[in-house]
Each structure stands twice: as C-alpha cells, then as structure tokens.
C-alpha cells in the first residue's frame, strides 16, 4: 500500500460498514449480527496491529530515550541514548513520522476547512488499545447479551412491583449495531487530524453512549440516566463550542498541526488562549466525567455491562483525556493548573464516594471517575506522558474489572455486593482475573497500574518541587500531591473492599450463591486476555522504560511534553504511593478480608460523614435544587403563561370566529335560503292551482282560448272606453 495511513482509514470504515449492514439487516440477522460486528472490529484490530508494527519500524517507536532533554533534568533510565540519535535511515526523522491525508471540505471566504486523518504515535497507540479492547468486548458481549436472543425477553427491572411482567422482543442485533457505530465514531475521533472532525465524532460517541445507556429503555432509571448523560455532556460541549469558536476566529484553522504552528508563532496568547483552552477542557470535563460534571457516569451504569466496560470505562470517557493530551499545546499554564485542580478534586471525591457504595458497578464507575481524575491531574501538572500512559493501562484493567463484574452480575443476578460473597469457589476464573484487575488498579508493584500511577505521582511531586513555594502555587501544588497520594490509598481500599465483598467470606444470600456459576468461554477468554494485559502493560520488556511510554514519547504527538522528573523524585513519589497503597490494602483486609473490625460500626461512628458519602457528596441533590428545580419551576411558569395567555388568545379568536360563523350561517339559512325557497314555494303553489286547467281535452282548450280571448278583448274594450271618456 502506498500510504500506510490508509490502513487506518479502512480500519475506521470497517465498523461503519458493519453498522450499515446491521442497520439494514435488522432483527433477521440474530446472532449473525454479532459475528459481523466482531469480524469488523477484529479486522480493524488486525489492521491497526499491522499499522503499529509498520509505524514502530519506520518511526523508531521503541528505541529508548531520544526525547530532547530539558535543562537540569536527569533521565535516569538506563538506556544510554544520546540526545541527537540519528534516525533509522528510512527517510523519516525522529519524532516527525506522520501519515496523513486531507480533503478540502468547505471554504468560507479565504478560510478553508480541510478534513483529514493523521497517524502519529499517539494515534497508533490509542488505535491499538481501542480496537483491542473493543474486539475483546465484542466477543464478551456474544456471551453476555445471549438472553437477548430469546423471544420474548422478560425484564423484571422494567416494571414497578405489582405491575404485570414486561415481555419484549430481544434486541441482540440492535446492541451490536450500536456497538459498531460506537467503534466507528471512536476510531474516527482518534484518527482525525483536526478539532472540527474530532468534535463531530465526539458528538457521535455521545449519541452512541446515549443509545446504549438507554438500551433497556423500558426501565425508568435507564432512560433517565440516558437523558442525564446526554444533557450533562451538552453542558460540557457548550464550552467546547466556545473553544472552537475562539480557535476559528483567531487562527482560522482547525488542523492540530496548523494550530500548533500558529500558537508557536504567538498568534493567540494571553487570556483568550486560556479561555480557549478551558473551553475545550470543558468539553473534556463533560465527556470524561470530571468534577463538576461527573454525575452522569455512575447513572450510566444502567446500560449493559459490556457497554460500561467499553464506553464508560475504557474508551469514550478516556476521549476527554485523549483530547487534552492531543491539544496539550493549547493549554496555558493557568489552564493547566485548573486542569490539575479539577483532576485532583475529582479523583479524591470519586474515591471517597466509591468507599461506601454497594452496587458493584457503581463502585467501578466512581473508580473510573477517580482514575480519569488521575489522568487529568497527570496532564495538568505537565505529565503528558504519565497521563496518557495511565489512560492506556487504565483502559485494560478497567475494562477487565467491568467485564468481571458483568460476569458476576450475569451469574449472581444482582448488582448488590451485600448479597454476594464467597463466589470465589463458584467462579474461579472471574475471581482470579478480577483480582489481577484489582491489583493493577490499586497500584501493587509488578502490575501495570503501579507504573502509570507512579509516573503521575512523580510528576505531581515534581510539580510541587518546581512550583514557587509561596502564594497560590504554594498551597495548591502540595495539595495536588497529597490528594493524589490519599487517592491512591482510597483506591486500594475500595477496590479490595469490592473484591473481598464479592468473592470471599461466607455467602450472604444463599439464593444468589446457589444460582451462581462460571460464565461461558466467550466471556472468560476475553477476561484472561485482558488480565494478562493488565498485568504486563506497564512492563519495559528490556527496553529500559515501559513500552507504552516509549511509544508515546518517540513521536511527534508529544514533542516537548515528555520531559521526565528526576529519578530521585520518581523514587520518593513511588515510596509515598506504595505506602499509601499498603495502608489501603491493610485497612481493606482488616475490614472486609478477616473482618477484625466491622465496617458498619465505623459507619455508625461517623454517621454524618457516612451519609455525606452515601449521598455522593450531595451532588445530585445540589444540582436538583440549584438547577433542575428552578428550571422546572420556570418551565411551569412559562407553561402557565402559554396555557392562559397564548392559548387563551388563540382559543378566544377561534371562539369568536365560530360565533360569527354561526350567526352568518343563520342569516344564510333563514334570509337567503328563505327568499329562494319562498320563490319556489309560491311558484309551486301557483302551479298547483293552475293545474286543473290542463284537462287534456283539446276542445276544452279551444273553448278556454276563445273565452280567454273574448275576456281579454272585453277587458281591453272596457278599459279603453273607461280612459277615453
């Protein structure tokens, strides 16, 4: 192939083709729909793997450390690569290999919008991650969604107690239709070379998210969650549009590279640059469920579990982080500080909420929010590499965790952890793979999450050390690091709590326990694959640095952002993190593993704190009171105005028109018709009277004629004589 970038274009179009086939095929396809969708995304994965290998070879992706060293910084990564390492001699310079193509889409005067794709190292890595996870989740879904193949499907959750049971047709093909559309949109988002196309795909993944959260739309909670997710994202996208508008009006282009070049020339600076960055970040806050727009993600768990794994854990919610990473050059230091603060608040808040939740998927949802907060924090403190590294590893272990929870829900028939317990014996594969995921997310050494989270903490500590020790920075910078370390402990605690409550201890609900069984191979095989990835995704494989970090830093995407913190800082941060994790794990073991202390008693000790956390920091209540209810009250007022005034006028006009018409009708009926009828009546009456003259006898007629003539003549004579006199 001439242009290897076309590999990726085809890989994007495969799920679109699958979507169209499934859309046209509809219900008839049955399980074939799953095979088509899986084949399409599997094909995309194969293509992206080929692309990855080729890009790695041509772009020297895995050659250690040839990023530009920032002054006064120590690399500390064994590989003794000189700064100006010669390129591989394939005609590509280090850090410049981009496969790209464009079409001219629309012109406004001198400004032209060009749409195109650009494949750089960030795209390659994201693409490989998305296609891999998506393929595994497609396979997993064949098993998980199996009951949608039956006719009819009973949905006990869709009806209130006491209502008749709901029967509905299965929606197996529809699920895969949506999944294919999502894969297309997500891959397109990653491949786009301009922010405009990114925005289009951004909205498309939002639509897919909406459709899939509301997949069980008979359930009241599901459609409400879908609407909530959509509306919350609109709030974020409002900011996104403002950012787009600023970029277009000041720079006249949407292309990432052109924006980068224009910014390097100083065409957009100062407060406007900060506002543009914060606008774009606002969209990312919505999509990545950051504080204060995080409220939709926990509710989004109403969707089927594979959806939670694919869209609301691994890929779509990471799109916000991806965009911040992709657009990193846009953010001014102020914007970055705000990003870091939002990330830190998010990670801490979501972590504390996750401690007390009992719904297994909700715990994971808050954990996702928390981890996304880590990524934002990492990016905000300048750790471009760390944030995106964590994005990739998180995608693997969070997809794994969600799929394990799906396996548990599938087996146990409930999402409430207090009803589980002791499932380790019943479903060993799920339990072990979930343990791997838990270890990874908690940041236990030798699992992938350890490396990526360590990196973020190292950047946060480095930020603290570099920042001025006085003023605003002097307060914020340490707080960021402390929150991140505290978040690490909290993460370890709630994740082990989840695992212990689910898999060990005595079975708390015997019905659930009896019902539980290991899931079919279509579900367990993806779990195992992801478990392996979660375990080893952070390894360096003898290259001196984690391979994902290498892949990210040795390319054009992260030019200038990949400076590492000093080795000593890294070790110090790692020590803190490990200490925090150990504290978290030990506490979890005490409370939930061996049950030395009862969590209920602790909750009773701090009832206010417990209630605060149980109600998720009262965010939903706050939004309901501050936004939803005023809007509803205002709507009611407007409705009353509509009802009384506008409708009153319209109804009044109609009423008087009807009255007028009725009067007019009566006039017509009595006067006009009356005259016409009267003429007819009179004529008829005269005819009736004159009828007897028509005897039918000719001789009589002649007599009438004669008599009549004589009479007329006589009358004439009489009259003439009368007047003559």
Nearest distance from C-beta of residue 696 to another protein, angstroms: 3
**Considering beta carbons, is residue 264 or 706 the nearer one to another protein?**
706
Nearest distance from C-beta of residue 663 to another protein, angstroms: 43
**Considering beta carbons, is residue 655 or 717 the nearer one to another protein?**
717
Nearest distance from C-beta of residue 706 to another protein, angstroms: 6
Nearest distance from C-beta of residue 680 to another protein, angstroms: 19
Whole-angstrom distance, CA of residue 75 vs CA of residue 328: 22
Contact pattern for another protein over residues 432 through 451, marking x by CB under 8 A: --------------------
Site for another protein in 638-697 (CB under 8 A): 691, 694-697
Stretch that binds another protein, among 193-201, 598-606, 643-651, 701-709 (CB under 8 A): 701-709
For residue 291, give the DSSP letter. T
Nearest distance from C-beta of residue 682 to another protein, angstroms: 20
Nearest distance from C-beta of residue 685 to another protein, angstroms: 16
Whole-angstrom distance, CA of residue 306 vs CA of residue 313: 10
Nearest distance from C-beta of residue 661 to another protein, angstroms: 44
Contact pattern for another protein over residues 449 through 488, marking x by CB under 8 A: ----------------------------------------
Write the CA distances from 407 to 304, 309, 357, 525, integer angstroms: 12, 12, 19, 12
Contact pattern for another protein over residues 263 through 282, marking x by CB under 8 A: --------------------
Nearest distance from C-beta of residue 710 to another protein, angstroms: 10
Stretch that binds another protein, among 3-11, 225-233, 625-633, 702-710 (CB under 8 A): 702-710
Whole-angstrom distance, CA of residue 136 vs CA of residue 202: 23
Beta-ladder partners of 102? 116
**Considering beta carbons, is residue 506 or 691 the nearer one to another protein?**
691
Stretch that binds another protein, among 142-150, 382-390, 627-635, 698-706 (CB under 8 A): 698-706
Nearest distance from C-beta of residue 718 to another protein, angstroms: 20
Residue with tokens 């028509």: 694
Nearest distance from C-beta of residue 687 to another protein, angstroms: 11
**Considering beta carbons, is residue 270 or 687 the nearer one to another protein?**
687
Nearest distance from C-beta of residue 703 to another protein, angstroms: 5
Report yes or no: 552 and 122 within 8 Å, Cβ to Cβ.
Answer: yes
Whole-angstrom distance, CA of residue 205 vs CA of residue 189: 9
Angle at 126 between CA 564 and CA 227, to 5 degrees: 115
Q: Please provide residue 331's backbone torsions phi and psi, each rounded to the nearest 5 degrees.
A: -85, 125
Nearest distance from C-beta of residue 724 to another protein, angstroms: 22
Beta-ladder partners of 106? 113
Stretch that binds another protein, among 26-34, 212-220, 373-381, 699-707 (CB under 8 A): 699-707
Nearest distance from C-beta of residue 700 to another protein, angstroms: 8
Report yes or no: 290 and 342 within 8 Å, Cβ to Cβ.
Answer: yes
**Could you tell me the two tokens for 655?**
């009423």
C-alpha closest to that of 122 among 319, 314, 340: 319
Q: Which one of 609, 702, 716, 719 is in contact with another protein (CB under 8 A)? A: 702
Is residue 711 near another protein by the rule CB under 8 A? no
C-alpha closest to that of 516 among 604, 426, 597: 426
Write the CA distances from 378 to 271, 456, 633, 666, integer angstroms: 23, 5, 41, 83
Pairing state between β 167-168 and 111-119: unpaired
**Considering beta carbons, is residue 108 or 692 the nearer one to another protein?**
692
Residues in the chain: 725
For residue 192, give the DSSP letter. B
Rg of the Cα atoms in the chain:
38
Number of residues that bind another protein (CB under 8 A): 10
Q: Which one of 110, 506, 689, 699 is in contact with another protein (CB under 8 A)? A: 699
Cβ density class 305-340: b for 16+ within 10 Å, e for less: bbbbbbbbbbbbbbbbbbbbbbbbbbbbeebbbbbb
CA atoms within 13 A on the CB side of 80: 0
C-alpha closest to that of 323 among 448, 443, 250, 239: 239
**Considering beta carbons, is residue 70 or 703 the nearer one to another protein?**
703
C-alpha closest to that of 129 among 190, 180, 192: 190
Q: Which one of 660, 675, 706, 716 is in contact with another protein (CB under 8 A)? A: 706
Stretch that binds another protein, among 109-117, 562-570, 649-657, 700-708 (CB under 8 A): 700-708
Is residue 712 near another protein by the rule CB under 8 A? no
**Considering beta carbons, is residue 28 or 691 the nearer one to another protein?**
691
Whole-angstrom distance, CA of residue 446 vs CA of residue 550: 18
**Considering beta carbons, is residue 662 or 709 the nearer one to another protein?**
709
Q: How far is CA 716 from the centre of its chain?
A: 108
Site for another protein in 238-257 (CB under 8 A): none
**Considering beta carbons, is residue 103 or 693 the nearer one to another protein?**
693
> How many CB atoms neighbour CB 287 within 10 A?
28
Is residue 698 near another protein by the rule CB under 8 A? yes
**Considering beta carbons, is residue 93 or 697 the nearer one to another protein?**
697
Write the CA distances from 274 to 269, 282, 330, 535, 615, integer angstroms: 8, 12, 8, 39, 34
Site for another protein in 218-237 (CB under 8 A): none
**Considering beta carbons, is residue 702 or 712 the nearer one to another protein?**
702
**Considering beta carbons, is residue 672 or 713 the nearer one to another protein?**
713
Report yes or no: 75 and 570 within 8 Å, Cβ to Cβ.
Answer: no
Write the CA distances from 624 to 229, 238, 497, 608, integer angstroms: 15, 20, 31, 21
Kindly give the residue spans of alpha helices, DSSP state H, lying in 327-427.
333-356, 360-380, 384-412
**Considering beta carbons, is residue 24 or 705 the nearer one to another protein?**
705
**Considering beta carbons, is residue 2 or 694 the nearer one to another protein?**
694
**Residue 515, C-beta contacts closer than 8 angstroms, at least 6 positions apart:** 411, 412, 413
Nearest distance from C-beta of residue 671 to another protein, angstroms: 34
Nearest distance from C-beta of residue 705 to another protein, angstroms: 9
Nearest distance from C-beta of residue 660 to another protein, angstroms: 47
**Considering beta carbons, is residue 698 or 722 the nearer one to another protein?**
698
**Considering beta carbons, is residue 163 or 688 the nearer one to another protein?**
688
Q: Which one of 703, 711, 715, 716 is in contact with another protein (CB under 8 A)? A: 703
Write the CA distances from 93 to 6, 98, 255, 614, integer angstroms: 21, 10, 22, 54
Residues of this chain that interact with another protein (CB under 8 A) are 691, 694-699, 702-703, 706
């Amino acid at each position: 192939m001439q242009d290897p970038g076309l590999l990726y274009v085809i890989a994007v179009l495969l799920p679109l083709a699958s979507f169209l086939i499934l859309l046209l095929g509809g219900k008839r396809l049955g399980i074939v729909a799953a095979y088509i969708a899986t084949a399409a995304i599997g094909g995309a994965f194969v293509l992206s793997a080929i692309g990855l290998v080729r890009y790695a070879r041509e772009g020297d992706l895995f050659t250690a450390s040839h990023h530009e060293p920032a002054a006064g910084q120590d690399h500390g990564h064994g590989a003794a690569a000189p700064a100006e390492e010669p390129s591989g001699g394939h005609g590509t310079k280090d850090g410049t290999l981009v496969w790209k193509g464009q079409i001219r889409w629309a012109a406004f005067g001198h400004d032209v919008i060009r749409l195109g794709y650009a494949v750089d190292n960030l795209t390659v890595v994201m693409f490989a991650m998305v296609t891999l996870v998506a393929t595994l989740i497609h396979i997993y879904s064949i098993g998980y969604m199996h009951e949608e193949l039956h006719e009819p499907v009973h949905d006990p959750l869709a009806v209130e107690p006491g209502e008749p049971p709901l029967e509905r047709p299965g929606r197996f093909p529809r699920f895969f239709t949506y999944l294919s559309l999502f894969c297309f949109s997500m891959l397109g988002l990653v491949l786009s070379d301009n922010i405009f196309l990114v925005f289009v795909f951004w909205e498309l993944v939002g639509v897919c998210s909406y459709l899939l959260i509301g997949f069980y739309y008979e359930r009241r909670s599901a459609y409400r969650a879908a609407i909530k997710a959509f509306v919350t994202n609109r709030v974020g996208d409002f900011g996104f549009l403002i950012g787009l508008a600023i970029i277009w009006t000041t720079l006249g282009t949407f292309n990432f590279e052109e924006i980068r070049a224009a910014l390097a020339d100083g065409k957009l600076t100062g407060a406007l640059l900060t506002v543009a960055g914060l606008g774009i970040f606002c969209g990312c806050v919505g999509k990545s469920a950051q504080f204060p727009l995080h409220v939709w993600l926990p509710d989004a768990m109403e969707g089927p579990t594979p959806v939670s794994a694919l869209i609301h854990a691994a890929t779509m919610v990471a799109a916000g982080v991806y965009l911040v990473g992709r657009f990193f050059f846009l953010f001014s230091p102020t914007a970055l500080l705000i990003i870091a603060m939002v990330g830190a608040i998010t990670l801490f808040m979501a972590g504390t909420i996750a401690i007390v939740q009992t719904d297994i998927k909700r715990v994971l949802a808050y954990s996702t929010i928390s981890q996304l907060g880590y990524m934002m924090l990492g990016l905000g403190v300048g750790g471009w590499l760390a944030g995106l590294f964590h994005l990739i590893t998180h995608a693997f272990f969070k997809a794994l965790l969600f799929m394990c929870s799906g396996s548990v829900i599938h087996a146990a028939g409930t999402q409430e952890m207090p009803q589980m317990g002791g499932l380790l014996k019943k479903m060993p594969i799920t339990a072990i793979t979930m343990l791997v995921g838990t270890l990874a997310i908690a940041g236990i050494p030798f699992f992938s999450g350890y490396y990526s989270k360590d990196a973020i903490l190292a950047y946060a500590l480095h930020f603290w050390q570099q920042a001025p020790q006085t003023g605003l920075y002097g307060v914020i910078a340490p707080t960021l690091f402390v929150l991140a370390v505290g978040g690490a402990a909290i993460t370890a605690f709630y994740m082990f709590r989840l695992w212990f409550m689910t898999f060990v201890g005595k079975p708390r609900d015997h019905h659930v326990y009896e019902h539980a069984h290991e899931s079919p191979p279509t579900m367990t095989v993806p779990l195992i694959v992801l478990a392996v990835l979660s375990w080893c995704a952070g390894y360096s494989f003898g290259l001196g640095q984690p391979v994902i970090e290498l892949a990210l830093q040795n390319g054009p995407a992260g030019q200038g952002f990949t400076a590492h913190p000093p080795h000593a800082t890294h070790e110090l941060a790692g020590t803190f993190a490990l200490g925090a994790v150990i504290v978290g794990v030990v506490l979890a073991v005490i409370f939930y593993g061996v049950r030395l202390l009862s969590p209920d008693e602790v909750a009773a000790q701090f009832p206010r704190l417990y209630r605060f956390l149980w109600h998720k920091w009262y965010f939903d209540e706050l939004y309901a009171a501050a936004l939803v209810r005023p809007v509803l009250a205002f709507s009611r007022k407007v409705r009353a105005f509509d009802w009384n005034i506008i409708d009153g006028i319209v109804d009044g006009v109609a009423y008087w028109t009807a009255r007028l018409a009725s009067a007019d009708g009566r006039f017509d009926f009595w006067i006009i018709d009356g005259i016409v009828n009267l003429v007819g009546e009179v004529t008829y009456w005269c005819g009736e009277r004159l009828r007897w003259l028509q005897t039918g006898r000719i001789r009589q007629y002649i007599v009438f004629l004669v008599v009549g003539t004589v009479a007329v003549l006589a009358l004439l004579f009489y009259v003439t004589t009368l007047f003559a006199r």
